[in-house]
Amino acid sequence: MFSPKYKLTNKILADLTAVAEAKGIIDRAKILPKQELRLRRQATIRMTHHSTEIEGNRLNIQQVEALYAKKKIDAPDRDIHEVQNYLNALKYIEKLVAEKKPTTEKVILQIHKLVTAKTMDTKFCGTYRPGPIYVVRRRLGMPQETIYTGPVAKRVSKLMEVFVDWLKISEEKEVNPVIVAAIAHLEIAAIHPFNDGNGRTARALATLLLYQRGYDFRRLFALEDYYNTGRQSYYKAINLGKTYDERKNDITSWLEYFTKGFRKEIDTVKYTILVLSSRKVDGKIKSQIYLRPEQLKIIDFLDQMGRITAKDVEDVLSIPKRTAQLHVEKLKKIKMIKQVGKGRATYYIANN
């Protein structure tokens, strides 16, 4: 049975308390849908950029933003695929949360399949590795050094099975979601169940668990930013020892690193939200304008493209013409958008 050993030190408890307090502030804050969607999009772009850059991806954040907007860029195919893959994995995570699907081995395998599509042999995408695996360190002018050896391949399936069982138990025991995410991240790294893509899978899985357990913070955070900007600290904190069986039994130091970073990222989200929520809208309104999910998608499209037509609404939402027109009229009525032109030339822009 998988049973991680750790102590909830004063540092960890202080960070978890601060995160819980920030969560209440962020959840209650009232900001405009357009602002929230923009922050959420930025978080997705930052997640993707930093999680792939850790693994050597060379695209800058502007190129990742372009791919998010489905624009073409001039870059190596592999780098493009890695970014598109991570974006697809995050979409899959959102779908799982919306449908309230539990985290199973099948889900973890699908996340891996998504993050590695078109970048490795298809027979290894979404399947456990068939052979040994090593984490190596390469230094200029120095021979390659093996710093970690994963468990033998025949043990991987069982290790993953007991790990997923622990995830279920942790939910029943109401273990703090931040602790669960941290442990999941570390255990995937330790088992190293795949030929490649273990880091991206671990980070995406941590995000999924936080979202599922009510710690999504309106999906405005990107913990990958913390890992990537202090990459050496990340590698040092995730130190696994020499082998799976010889690794440190006590993972307290990793949890201290993880919770510290999570608090730092959530504090940034909190301060951003507080600044936005303190601003008045139209000089009169100081409250959130609540929209249906379909209408939020319309505003998100408009924010990216600068304008939208009723036909665009039909296409974005895959709905009949009449329903699209009703959504447009509703947004016009509450002054979220305004009409430009007449007849067939009509389009809509944000009513800033």
> In CATH, what number is assigned to the domain containing residue 337?
1.10.10.10
Would 115 be classed as within a structural domain?
A: yes
Domain identity same for 245 and 339: no
- Poorest-confidence range of 203-207, 215-219, 220-224, 245-249? 245-249
pLDDT digits (tens, 9 = 90+) for 135-145: 987 777 777 88
Q: Could you give the number of structural domains in the chain?
A: 2
Domain identity same for 308 and 200: no
Would 341 be classed as within a structural domain?
A: yes
Over residues 274-301, mean pLDDT: 64
Residue 319 sits in which domain range?
Answer: 293-350
Domain identity same for 203 and 239: yes
Which domain CATH number covers 179? 1.10.3290.10
Would 287 be classed as within a structural domain?
A: no
Q: How far apart are the first and last CA of the chain?
A: 57
pLDDT of residue 183: 97
Domain identity same for 259 and 315: no
pLDDT of residue 343: 85
Domain identity same for 261 and 331: no
Would 3 be classed as within a structural domain?
A: no
pLDDT of residue 186: 96
Domain identity same for 208 and 152: yes
